[in-house]
Structures are given as C-alpha cells and as structure tokens.
C-alpha cells in the first residue's frame, strides 16, 4: 500500500439536499449493476451506485425484468436510472420508481446501444435538445426526489452539445449531470476526452461527474484535473473488481494506493456475488447472469497473478461451462488456488 503525498483535492458531493459519501460513482450498466453487484460495491466503499437503465414504458406495463431493476441494494442512496422517449412514460416511470423507494431519479441520455437509440432514447435524444427537455421537464415535474442526468459529449464530433444540454437541464431543475467523455458515434472506441467535459463544468453550477476510461488511480486523477469535475464515475473498470470504486475513493481522499485484495478475498467476494445473483434472479436465470461476473473475476485475478492468456483461457473454460452450483464453486476455488500459486512463484 503506497501513500501519495498529494491526494486530489476533492469537493463534497451532493445531489440537491442529499450528501454523497465520497466522489466515486458506480456507473449504471445494463445486465451488470443489479442489486447484488450494487450492494457489494457500496459496501466496499463506492460513494454512489446507480441501477441498471430501466425502460419507462416497459416499467409502466409491469414487465418483470424492469420491476426487478427497482430493487434496493440495502445500503446508502437508492438511485434508479430511467430511459424513454415520451414525456408521459418518463413521468409515470418516475412515480413508480419513487413509490418503490428511489431516493434519486437519473435520466439516461447517454446509452449508445443501437436498440436504444433506434427507439429515440438514450444518446439519440442529444440530436433534439428541445425534445430532450420535454422529457426532463416531465420527469422533474413528476418527482418528489432530486433528478440527475447522464449524457455523452454529443451525438458525433460535429455536434458536441453536452454543455448546452447540461445548462438547459440545470435550468429545468436537474441537480447533477454526468458526462461520458465520448460521443455516441464513438461507442466505447478511442479514448475518452476528459478535457472536453470542462466546457460543461464552466457552464453549470450544479455538480458534474466525469465518466469514461477510469480503470486506475491515475486515470481518475487525470480525469478530474482535465475536466474540473466534482466526481468521477467508474463503469467497466469495476467489472470483476467491485472493490475498485471504494479503493479509488480512498485514494482521492487520502492519497493511499491500495493493491487488489488477496486472492482468497477475491474468491470469497466472487462467491458471495454469485450466490447473491442466484438469490436475486432464481437459479436458472441467475446462473446466466452470474457467469459474466465470474469471468471478469477470473480476468482480474489473472491480471494480478501475471497469468498467461492460455492459463486464463483454461480456467475460464472450466468455470464458465460448469452447470451445478457446487461444481462452479469448486472450480472457482481451484482456479484461485492456482492463481495464488502462480503469483507466489
């Protein structure tokens, strides 16, 4: 564990009247940030965790998978992210989420997935800010809790309109904005342009969160310095590493650079998450959801151990093709034992 003598100077993060424990946010990720994963990341120190994107129209119709996304993670602030393309559904979705216990509503105007943008939701809304504002107005008007907004820099490099959207959202009552520092057309390619988020920060007085490519301590420090943002959001950098947002928060506050947990600890965290996902979804559906988390856990452990690509492929193939829960747990234990020995060699 190393100590940085010059930790980043952080600001107290708040969403309206709600104080946030620290300036590290776990990103909303569909199929990933369900209640079990959020619960673990929050317990391990993330300042704020956000639900998977919840489609308002499907939520209003009572679709089971969308209702499940409203489940609390039992620790800290409960943020539900909503997506939609019609004001009436956004308003109704916000009321349902609040009735289910949401402390904050987050609006998704950043998802780049084609199945979302083809339906005129997510980052497609950045092509029509007037329409986007009708959705923001409807959500804020229907909400008795603070509303936040997540966006990208713009649809493409010719229309970097995040500052304009952020300012109009602030004027409409949004209490915090998050900017993924890519355009929609970049998807997740290229490098996040953290400096471009500074234009948003200059135009609003509400807190700004910078998102994109934050996978290590220096990434976070640099993202905050270049953007001037008040907080940093971690997405893919937390896959297989639910402890990382908490470690990053402690780094920003104290300058302490923590190493990954011991392999035995990583194994028990992976097993706890596996069990939690099975409980959350039921055995059959849960096994499918858990498989990707187990794969990422192996990826993270293999990277720490210095395992070769072929060694990682071997353990992934064994663990991720196992069917019965006891077999999955036994093979995971064997994999982590092998990785522990690899690291010690």
Q: Look up the pTM and report it.
A: 0.94
Mean pLDDT by 10 residues, the chain (345 residues): 58 94 96 96 97 94 94 90 95 97 95 78 89 97 98 92 97 98 88 97 98 97 97 97 98 94 96 96 94 97 94 95 93 94 88
pLDDT of residue 320: 94
pLDDT of residue 112: 82
pLDDT of residue 122: 86
pLDDT of residue 9: 62
Active site residues: 111
pLDDT of residue 117: 75
pLDDT of residue 125: 92
Distance CA 305, CA 263 (A): 9
């Amino acid at each position: 564990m190393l100590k940085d003598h010059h930790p980043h100077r952080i600001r107290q993060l708040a969403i309206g009247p709600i104080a946030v424990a620290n300036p590290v946010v776990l990103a909303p990720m569909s199929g990933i940030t369900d209640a079990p994963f959020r619960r673990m990341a929050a317990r391990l120190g993330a300042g704020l965790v956000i639900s998977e994107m919840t489609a308002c129209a499907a939520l209003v119709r009572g679709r089971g998978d969308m209702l499940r996304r409203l489940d609390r993670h039992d620790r800290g602030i409960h943020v539900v992210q909503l997506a939609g393309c019609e004001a009436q559904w956004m308003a109704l979705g916000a009321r349902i989420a609040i009735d289910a216990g949401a402390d904050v509503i987050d609006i998704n105007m950043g998802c780049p997935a084609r199945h979302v943008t083809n339906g005129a939701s997510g980052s497609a809304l950045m092509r029509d800010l007037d329409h986007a504002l009708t959705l923001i107005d409807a959500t804020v008007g229907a909400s008795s809790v603070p509303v936040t907004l997540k966006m990208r820099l713009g649809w493409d490099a010719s229309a970097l309109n995040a500052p304009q959207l952020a300012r109009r959202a602030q004027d409409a009552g949004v209490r915090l904005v998050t900017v993924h520092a890519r355009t929609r057309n970049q998807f997740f390619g290229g490098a996040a342009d953290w400096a471009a988020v500074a234009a948003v920060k200059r135009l609003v007085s509400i807190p700004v969160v910078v998102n994109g490519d934050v996978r290590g301590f220096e990434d976070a420090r640099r993202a905050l310095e270049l953007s001037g943002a008040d907080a940093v959001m971690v997405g893919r950098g937390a896959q297989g590493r639910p402890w990382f947002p908490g470690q990053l928060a402690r780094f920003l506050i104290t300058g302490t650079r923590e190493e990954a947990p011991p392999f035995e600890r990583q194994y028990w965290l992976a097993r706890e998450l596996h069990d939690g996902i099975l409980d959350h979804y039921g055995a059959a559906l849960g096994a499918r959801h858990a498989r990707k988390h187990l794969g990422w856990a192996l990826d993270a452990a293999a990277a720490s151990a210095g395992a070769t690509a072929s060694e990682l492929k071997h353990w992934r193939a064994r663990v991720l093709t196992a069917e019965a829960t006891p077999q999955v747990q036994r093979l995971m234990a064997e994999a982590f034992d092998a990785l522990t020995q690899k690291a010690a060699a």
